[in-house]
Amino acid sequence: MSALGALLAFQRETEALGQVMGRLGWDQETMMPRGAAVQRGEEMAALEGVLHARRTDPRVGEWLDQATPSSEAEAAQLRLISHSYARACRVPGDLAAEIARVTSVSQGKWAAARKADDLAGFLPVLGQVIALRRVEAQALADGGDAYDALLDGYEPGITGAEIAAFFDRMRPGLVALRAALRDAPPAPVLTGHFPRAGQLALAREVAQVFGYDLERGRIDEAVHPFSSGSHNDVRITTRIDEAEPLGCIYSTIHEVGHAGYEQNIAQEFGLSVLGQGVSMGVHESQSRIYENQLGRSPAFCHWLFGRMRDHFGPLSVDTPEDFARAVNRVATGYIRTEADEVHYNLHIMLRFDLERALISGDLALGDLEAAWNDRFAADFGVAVDRPSNGVLQDVHWPVGLFGYFPTYSLGNVYAGCLHAALRAALPALDQHMAKGDLAPALGWLRDNLQAHGGLRTPRATVEHATGAPVHEAALLGYLEAKYRALYAL
């Protein structure tokens, strides 16, 4: 067997084991009994040890030196494996296993602390997570910027300074739009009782309208909705509040965006480094364009209004137009995952600045809550009332995902670029969406972006789909046009 053949066969087994580990994480969020948290931590640590040993196996380096690609796909696989190998070799195996063990335990403790609003009881384990990630970041950085080294694990090819520049350009427009909307007459609110069974039924229907293949996936409930898996086993979760059905519907659409990306990658890339989303920013572009530019469009809301009435009877809003305004209602809130499009990126900017400071050591753990609350009051004009509405609301830091948060806003920027290109290619898009027909939009995204998986770098993936450089102007223009029309400004 050639060096390339041996490397790709070895990598296929590594990818398969990684999927098994992902399934353990899915089970922990959905099915695992609460008392199994410590044992699951040991299981995750053991499997991470096996994976780390494979990812740093000296044979990988030898195969990389000897392998000669004969196609674009093979060259891309070598590029990605080489990048992963270099990162893995900088992290000691015992550190990787300890991170897996501690973050697994931390996840369970976070869920309990969030429910009890017990930040003080959670801070010690969060401190362990941060300390371990700092050690890992220093090892990965190899003398460079520690935060950039963590960010590279989620969005290769971009730095914290570039993200900060994006945010500096976006903030004035977002703040100005928020101020204009704050002074406008408020949008209607959808109220009533929406039984759990009806929400789940509608969520499944909407998921399939957005192309989710339930023969290769499933929908469950979790505290924090997420998508897990790749290729032919891609699972999503949602959450249900019987007084607020839009959270269930739109978290489902959001996660279907992630899942649809994974399910639509070319079959020949399955269980290879090309067979998954190329970065978290590009991944987020799919979930956000599904949820917002498509799912919250006035055209799609026209169709959804009818299906809501079919499932739940008369609504507190009487027309599709008022329903669209309720779906897109702008209001200051504590929870990032429930934030409207105007406020959402401000939530990310807050977390980005704080986590950079935590990793650098400029922010002490004991000062984190005060720093969060002060920044939230300054940015949103509201005082945080309890930890579950503040620093405890997200699972990302408890499980060690430092460097992940900014990819959410980068995904919004990518989605803005993709939406502009999509609209240009499909001038009759609104007519299709008003009938619940997402096939033209989904087909465009599949053919131009999703099918290619990790074939290109993140930015090149978006630029290949759109034919234009990545820039935040498309997102800001979309937000201005949409919300000024909805609020008649």
Which letter does DSSP use for residue 332 in this model? -
One-letter identity of residue 457: T
Residues 438, 295: Cα–Cα separation, whole Å: 9
113 class by beta-carbon count within 10 Å (0-12 exposed, 13-18 middle, 19+ buried): buried
Contact predicate 467/164, CB 8 Å:
no
DSSP alpha helix (H) spans, 230-316: 245-264, 280-288, 298-312
Calpha distance 221→74 (Å, rounded): 38
Tokens representing 343? Answer: 């406020």
Catalytic residue among 15, 98, 136, 255: 255
**How far is CA 369 from each of CA 26, 166, 343, 365, 438, rounded to the nearest angstrom?**
29, 26, 20, 8, 43
Instruction: Determine which helix (DSSP H) or strand (DSSP E) holds 192, and give its type and residue range.
Output: none
Active site residue 255: yes
For residues 170 and 25, give the distance between their C-alpha atoms in angstroms, rounded to a whole number: 35
Please check whether residue 209 is in contact with residue 433, taking contact to mean a CB–CB distance below 8 angstroms.
no
Strands 227-230 and 233-238: antiparallel
Q: Which residue from 155, 28, 243, 189 is spatially nearest to 458, judged by alpha carbons?
A: 155
Tokens of 412: 């919004």
Q: Is 4 helix (H, G, I), strand (E, B) or coil?
A: helix
- CA nearest to 376, candidates 390, 386, 388: 390
CA distance 277 to 275: 7
Residue 339 CA, chain-centre distance (Å), reads: 14
DSSP per residue over 357-399, as a string?
HHHHTSS-GGGHHHHHHHHHHHHHS----SGGGTTTS-STTTT
CA distance linking residue 15 with residue 173, whole number of Å: 42
CA separation, residue 177 to residues 318, 343, 402, 484 (Å): 27, 10, 29, 9
| Exposure letters 355-385 (e unless 16+ CB within 10 A, then b) | bbbbbeeebeeeebbebbbebbeebbeeebe
Report phi then psi at 123, rounded to 5. Answer: -55, -40
Q: Which of 216, 298, 299, 202 is nearest to 253 (CA)?
A: 202
Q: What are the residue numbers of the active site?
A: 255
